[in-house]
């Protein structure tokens, strides 16, 4: 029979070094879940709750009203231009950084991150400074009847600027890791540059590219700060969905504002679902690509 | 088809070549001439003044330690790297003016570089489907060719696998089939068996030799495994620090090494700093009676472990102490420390030689040796 009083105390080191005490574990998980609920899930639920607070009829009316439809159309147009543009720029920049050695490379990488580190309002102001009526190029452009600021081109430019890093940032690490061996092999087998790109490079980066495009699209449709500076907020003409939401809200049309906002929230959820779905559906293929 | 210069008084100023007809007949092996090729990266020259002639249909091994410039030389031949200076000729025609695609070179990379998103079939067919429509074979022809190649590399039935579903040795063979599909004029292999285990290496080695005999390509393969080079190649090119140390048949390289480096890199050898004085060979102040003669001056004496005898009490041997003894293949290997400066040499004695103890004195007389200027 063992006597509790003489049994030596269990040494602390019996517990694996990385395992916390049970209550610490539960506390950490609890804090994380609570945080997610309050700051992420609750706002999302409230958006939809508010949007339908006056019934489905009012909701439909709010999103099919003339100015709302114009805002939705403009948002789609802006995304339809800026996402493909950033797709091309992003691939080109990632290609240059990953596959060539040149001076100023690290500077270029920093530059690509610039839109992430600058406040979107500042980026918008820069465009006003360059293209605005009092700006550097403004008078010249006006002479030729080209309007950029307070017009669609300005909104597109600002959106491209703000969403530039998404595609490039996704691609650079994976392209750097893959190196140029596959491309060299394709060239030595007689393939042209284009064929090499479309048949070898593109399949190697397609998942990263798709993520980048999804994220880029979500941000392009949701961008507020930079667009708000350059748009001029002309109803039915230069209002994107986020701007339209703000205007409605400022006019005390809270429920209508939430109705349009819920569309944006829906977009975000679809983006996330698509990303997760892709990851799940093609897990094997993605893993295989990372492996080799 | 080649631009012929029969003129004996070829001007030293190199005239621009007349536009050469670029209809290489595919698959016909060509000879390769490399003249004074230098390749300098940022600071370090990876190739210094490399000159080499490879006959059509020859199987040549590039052998050298890591970083000696083997891959760089292959990449220069393939057109993936452009030399800083020098010339490269294929079948007498300037190759540096040709793009990678125009060179029709089969390149098997150190890491295979198979296209991961394509099945084995499409990997092998890639070079054929990439041809311009004018010269592209029909689908049926491509299919036949791919299946034929799969048969050649003994992978029949695996055409629908993805590269990640293959073993290392299988990937290696797909990479070779893919390179052979374009009917290359020259086949370049960069450490083709580098990542494989010893048994697979030996099998693939024999198999590569057979394929070479069947297809007859001019083949250059890189290795840092001397056994592989000796067994496979018609000729071996030994590279060290971007310079060619020696070119020769395996026998020549093994029996008549051009430098202590070659002697130690191909086969095993020991080297001792010696000197000739009054026509006699000395190590420190002791004479070595092996009949070496020559002008007075410092030399390096090199011999292989098994090319020695133990003269016992007879004078004129190299005296030393045994510091270690171990089994080495069919014989017993002794590590011997020589003289005040503690030079180390290795010698082999028959396995039935009486066991020796650490510190035992021994006298060694090389029976076959080389003397190099120090
Ligand atoms: N792109 C490059 N930029 C700068 N230096 C390089 C480059 N490629 C090779 N080198 C240098 O050139 C030298 C020769 O390299 P190379 O790859 O030809 O060696 P190797 O003989 O193939 O070696 P290994 O057996 O390790 O493959 C090395 O010192 C290497 O650091
Ligand atoms: Mg190498």
Among the listed residues A46, A90, A69, the one whose alpha carbon sits nearest the alpha carbon of residue A215 = A90
Provide the b/e sequence for B323-338 (b: ≥16 CB within 10 Å).
eebeebeebbbbbbeb
Mutate to test the pocket of ligand 1, among B37, B47, B69 (most ligand atoms within 8 A of CB): B69
- Give the integer Cα–Cα distance in Å for B87 and A14: 70
For residue A205, the chain B residue with the least C-alpha distance is B117
Residues B85-98: tens digit of each pLDDT: 999 999 988 999 99
Decide the pairing of beta strands B186-190 and B105-108: parallel
For residue A194, the chain B residue with the least C-alpha distance is B130
Token code pair at residue B152? 């050649």
**Cβ–Cβ of A200/B113 closer than 8 Å?**
no
| Among B43, B99, B126, B179, the residue to mutate for chain A (most A Cβ within 10 A) | B126
Among the listed residues B10, B83, B72, the one whose alpha carbon sits nearest the alpha carbon of residue B46 = B72
Q: Which residues pair with B94 in a beta bridge?
A: B89
B67 CA from centroid of ligand 1 (Å): 5
Instruction: For residue A91, give Cα distances in angstroms to A94, A100, B34.
Output: 5, 13, 38
B47 CA from centroid of ligand 2 (Å): 13
Q: Report yes or no: B107 at the A interface, CB cutoff 8 Å.
A: yes
Residue A113 Cα, gap to closest chain B Cα (Å)? 29
B32 CA from centroid of ligand 2 (Å): 20
Whose Cα sits closest to atom 18 in ligand 1?
Answer: B69
Whose Cα sits closest to atom 4 in ligand 1?
Answer: B41
Task: Report pLDDT for B9.
Answer: 39
Give the single-character DSSP code of B15: P
Environment class of B32 (CB within 10 Å of its CB; exposed 0-12, middle 13-18, buried 19+): buried
Whose Cα sits closest to atom 24 in ligand 1?
Answer: B66
Q: Report yes or no: B109 at the A interface, CB cutoff 8 Å.
A: yes
Residue A45 pLDDT greater than 60, yes or no: yes
Of B111, B117, B131, the CB nearest to A190: B131
For residue A190, the chain B residue with the least C-alpha distance is B101
Q: Cβ contacts (< 8 Å) between B79 and chain A: which residues?
A: 188
Decide the pairing of beta strands B218-223 and B186-190: parallel
Residues B328-352: tens digit of each pLDDT: 888 999 999 998 788 999 999 988 8
Neighbours of B344 (CB within 10 A): 14
Q: Cβ contacts (< 8 Å) between B131 and chain A: which residues?
A: 190
Q: Report yes or no: A182 at the B interface, CB cutoff 8 Å.
A: yes
Residues A205-226: tens digit of each pLDDT: 988 899 899 989 999 999 998 9
Residues A137-156: tens digit of each pLDDT: 878 888 888 888 888 889 99
Q: Cβ contacts (< 8 Å) between B119 and chain A: which residues?
A: none
Neighbours of A137 (CB within 10 A): 13
Task: Report pLDDT for A289.
Answer: 57
Whose Cα sits closest to atom 22 in ligand 1?
Answer: B71
**Lowest pLDDT segment from A266-270, B25-29, B151-155, B168-172:** B25-29
Token code pair at residue A27? 């506390």
Task: Report pLDDT for A15.
Answer: 62
| Among B107, B115, B165, the residue to mutate for chain A (most A Cβ within 10 A) | B115
**Cβ–Cβ of A190/B80 closer than 8 Å?**
no
Q: Are A98 and A175 in contact (CB under 8 A)?
A: yes
Residue B312 pLDDT greater than 50, yes or no: yes
For residue A284, the chain B residue with the least C-alpha distance is B164
Task: Report pLDDT for A17.
Answer: 66
Residue A90 pLDDT greater than 90, yes or no: yes
Task: Report pLDDT for A279.
Answer: 79
**Cβ–Cβ of B117/A204 closer than 8 Å?**
yes
Q: Report yes or no: B130 at the A interface, CB cutoff 8 Å.
A: yes
| Mean pLDDT of all residues in B82-110 | 92
Residues B1-32: tens digit of each pLDDT: 334 434 333 334 444 444 443 444 556 788 99
ipTM value: 0.80
| Mean pLDDT of all residues in A59-66 | 89
Among the listed residues A261, A292, A284, the one whose alpha carbon sits nearest the alpha carbon of residue A45 = A261
Mutate to test the pocket of ligand 1, among B38, B41, B42 (most ligand atoms within 8 A of CB): B41
Q: Are B319 and B363 in contact (CB under 8 A)?
A: yes
**A20 against A25, higher pLDDT:** A25
Mean pLDDT of chain B: 86
Can you give the length of chain A in residues? 292
**A33 against A132, higher pLDDT:** A33
For residue B184, the chain A residue with the least C-alpha distance is A189
| Mean pLDDT of all residues in B243-264 | 93
Q: Are A58 and A255 in contact (CB under 8 A)?
A: yes
Mean pLDDT of chain A: 86
Residue A180 pLDDT greater than 60, yes or no: yes
Residue A2 pLDDT greater than 70, yes or no: no
Residue B284 pLDDT greater than 90, yes or no: no
Residue A7 pLDDT greater than 80, yes or no: no
Residue B316 pLDDT greater than 90, yes or no: no
Strand order across the B308-309 sheet: B308-309, B361-366, B318-328, B331-338, B343-350
| Mean pLDDT of all residues in A242-265 | 90
Q: Report yes or no: A187 at the B interface, CB cutoff 8 Å.
A: yes
**Cβ–Cβ of A189/B113 closer than 8 Å?**
no
Residue A292 pLDDT greater than 90, yes or no: no
Residue B130 Cα, gap to closest chain A Cα (Å)? 5
Backbone angles phi, psi at B312, to 5 degrees: 65, -130
Q: Which residues pair with B328 in a beta bridge?
A: B331
| Mean pLDDT of all residues in A14-25 | 73
Residue A195 pLDDT greater than 90, yes or no: yes
Q: Cβ contacts (< 8 Å) between A194 and chain B: which residues?
A: none
Q: DSSP characters for B182-250?
A: T--SEEEEESTTTTS-HHHHHHHHHHHHHHHHHH--EEEEEES-HHHHHHH-SEEEEEETTEEEEEE-H
**Cβ–Cβ of B130/A191 closer than 8 Å?**
yes
> What 3-state DSSP class applies to B16?
coil
Q: Cβ contacts (< 8 Å) between A187 and chain B: which residues?
A: 80, 100-101
pLDDT band at A12 (very low <50, low <70, confident <90, very high): low
A228 CA from centroid of ligand 1 (Å): 53
Q: Cβ contacts (< 8 Å) between B107 and chain A: which residues?
A: 184-185, 188
pTM equals 0.79
Task: Report pLDDT for B17.
Answer: 45
Residues with CB under 6 A from ligand 1: B 41-42, 44, 46, 64, 66-72, 224
Whose Cα sits closest to atom 6 in ligand 1?
Answer: B41
Q: Are B281 and B357 in contact (CB under 8 A)?
A: no
Among the listed residues B93, B110, B124, the one whose alpha carbon sits nearest the alpha carbon of residue B20 = B93
pLDDT band at A286 (very low <50, low <70, confident <90, very high): low
Q: Are B155 and B177 in contact (CB under 8 A)?
A: yes
**B9 against A108, higher pLDDT:** A108
Environment class of B72 (CB within 10 Å of its CB; exposed 0-12, middle 13-18, buried 19+): buried
Percent of chain A with pLDDT over 90: 37
- Give the integer Cα–Cα distance in Å for B125 and B141: 10
- Give the integer Cα–Cα distance in Å for B237 and B250: 10
Percent of chain B with pLDDT over 90: 53
């Amino acid at each position: 029979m063992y006597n509790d009083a003489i049994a030596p105390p269990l040494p602390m080191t019996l517990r694996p070094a990385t395992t916390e005490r049970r209550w610490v574990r539960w506390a950490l998980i609890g804090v994380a879940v609570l945080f997610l609920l309050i700051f992420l899930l609750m706002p999302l639920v409230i958006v939809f709750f508010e949007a339908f607070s006056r019934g489905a009829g009012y909701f439909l009316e709010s999103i099919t009203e003339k100015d709302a439809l114009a805002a939705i159309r403009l948002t789609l147009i802006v995304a339809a231009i800026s996402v493909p543009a950033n797709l091309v720029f992003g691939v080109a920049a990632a290609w240059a950084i990953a596959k060539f050695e040149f001076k100023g490379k690290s500077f270029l990488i920093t530059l690509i991150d610039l839109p992430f580190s600058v406040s979107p309002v500042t980026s918008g102001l820069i465009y006003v400074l360059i293209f605005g009526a009092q700006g550097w190029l403004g008078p010249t452009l006006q002479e030729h009847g080209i309007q950029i600021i307070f017009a669609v081109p300005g909104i597109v430019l600002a959106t491209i600027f703000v969403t530039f890093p998404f595609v490039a940032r996704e691609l650079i690490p994976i392209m750097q890791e893959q190196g140029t061996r596959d491309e060299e092999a394709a060239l030595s087998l007689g393939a042209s540059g284009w064929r090499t790109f479309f048949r070898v490079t593109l399949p190697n980066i397609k998942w990263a590219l798709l993520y980048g495009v999804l994220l880029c699209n979500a941000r392009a449709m949701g961008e507020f700060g930079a667009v708000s500076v350059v748009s001029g907020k002309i109803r039915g003409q230069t209002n994107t969905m986020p701007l339209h939401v703000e205007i409605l809200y400022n006019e005390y049309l809270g429920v209508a504002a939430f109705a349009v906002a819920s569309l944006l929230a829906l977009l975000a959820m679809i983006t996330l679902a698509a990303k997760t779905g892709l990851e799940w559906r093609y897990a094997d293929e993605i893993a295989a690509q990372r492996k080799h | 088809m080649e631009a012929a210069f029969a003129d004996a008084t070829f001007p030293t100023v190199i005239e621009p070549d007349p536009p050469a007809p670029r209809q290489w007949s595919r698959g016909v092996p060509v000879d390769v001439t490399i003249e004074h090729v230098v390749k300098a990266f940022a600071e370090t020259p990876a190739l210094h003044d490399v000159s080499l002639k490879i006959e059509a249909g020859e199987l040549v091994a590039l052998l050298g330690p890591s970083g000696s410039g083997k891959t760089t030389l292959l990449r220069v031949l393939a057109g993936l790297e452009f030399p800083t200076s020098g010339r490269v000729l294929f079948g007498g025609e300037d190759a540096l003016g040709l793009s990678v695609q125009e060179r029709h070179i089969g390149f098997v990379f150190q890491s295979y570089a198979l296209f991961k998103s394509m099945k084995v079939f499409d990997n092998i067919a890639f070079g054929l489907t990439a041809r311009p429509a004018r010269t592209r074979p029909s689908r049926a022809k491509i299919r036949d060719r791919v299946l034929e190649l799969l048969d050649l590399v003994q992978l029949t039935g695996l055409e629908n696998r993805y590269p990640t579903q293959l073993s290392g040795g299988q990937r290696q063979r797909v990479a070779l089939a893919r390179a052979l599909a374009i009917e290359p004029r020259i086949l370049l292999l960069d450490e083709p068996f580098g990542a494989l285990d010893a048994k697979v290496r030996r099998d693939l080695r024999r198999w590569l030799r057979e394929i070479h005999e069947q297809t007859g390509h001019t083949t250059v393969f890189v290795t840092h495994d001397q056994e592989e080079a000796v067994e496979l190649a018609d000729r071996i090119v030994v590279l060290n620090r971007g310079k060619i140390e020696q070119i020769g048949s395996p026998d020549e390289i093994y029996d008549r090494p051009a430098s202590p480096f070659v002697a130690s890199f191909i086969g095993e050898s020991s080297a001792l700093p010696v000197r000739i004085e009054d026509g006699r060979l000395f190590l420190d102040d002791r004479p070595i009676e092996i009949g070496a003669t020559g002008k007075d001056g410092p030399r390096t004496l090199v011999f292989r472990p098994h090319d020695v005898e133990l003269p016992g009490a007879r004078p004129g041997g190299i005296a030393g102490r045994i510091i270690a003894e171990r089994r080495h293949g069919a014989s017993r290997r002794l590590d011997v420390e020589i003289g005040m400066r503690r030079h180390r040499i290795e010698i082999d004695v028959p396995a039935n030689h009486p066991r020796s103890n650490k510190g035992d004195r021994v006298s060694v007389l090389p029976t076959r040796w080389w003397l190099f200027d120090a």
